[in-house]
Structure 1
Amino acid sequence: MIVDLNIGGVLIPGLVVLAFVALLVAVAMFRFFSATGIQRLFASRALVELATFVIIYGLLLQSLPLIGLLP
């Protein structure tokens, strides 16, 4: 079971926290892509953004046992 985050007595599911972290990383990556001009190489920007988010989220899920969030 994934550990939940307790903020002031409110439990936030661990998967939501991971999704938020993945979203922040994906936004940072696309700002970098925009600044360097790499985004012009993509045919469908929205599809690439979604795929990037899903890949980052999957990598975070696979790293759960390594970082200790999966008892």
Structure 2
Amino acid sequence: MINDFNIEGVFVPGLLVIALVALTCTLFLVHLFSFSKGYRRLPFRPMIDFSVFIIAFYLLLQGLTELGFFK
């Protein structure tokens, strides 16, 4: 099964699309986290942001695989 998306004749890899969706989810979550005072006191916030991206990417990939959209 081909997991590429065809956008006006340009094939985009499926993992790239999932990574972009995970990036937008991460940006939204980090924006929500920034309202809390505890997030501002974390010592190394870029590492936390990267961890949130990895978790969002994994959950999206696992969910799409379980639903049968990504094999």
TM bracket (short chain): 0.7 to 0.9
Q: Residues 1-71 of structure 1: matches in 2 within 5 Å?
A: 1=1, 3-71=3-71
Change (3 A) 1:4 1:18: same
What is the alpha-carbon root mean square deviation over aligned residues? 1.7
Structure 1 runs of 4+ aligned residues shifted over 4 Å read none
Q: Which has the higher contact order (CA 8 A, sep 6+)?
A: 1
Per-residue deviation, residues 6-53 of structure 1 (Å, max 9, x unmatched): 100000000000000000000001111112334224221000000000
Give the alignment's TM-score, normalised by structure 1: 0.84
Change (3 A) 1:39 1:2: farther
Give the alignment's TM-score, normalised by structure 2: 0.84
Q: Percent identity?
A: 38
One-letter amino acid of the structure 2 residue matched with residue 5 of structure 1: F
SS of the aligned residue for 2:61 comes to helix
Conserved 8 A contact 1:2-1:15:
no
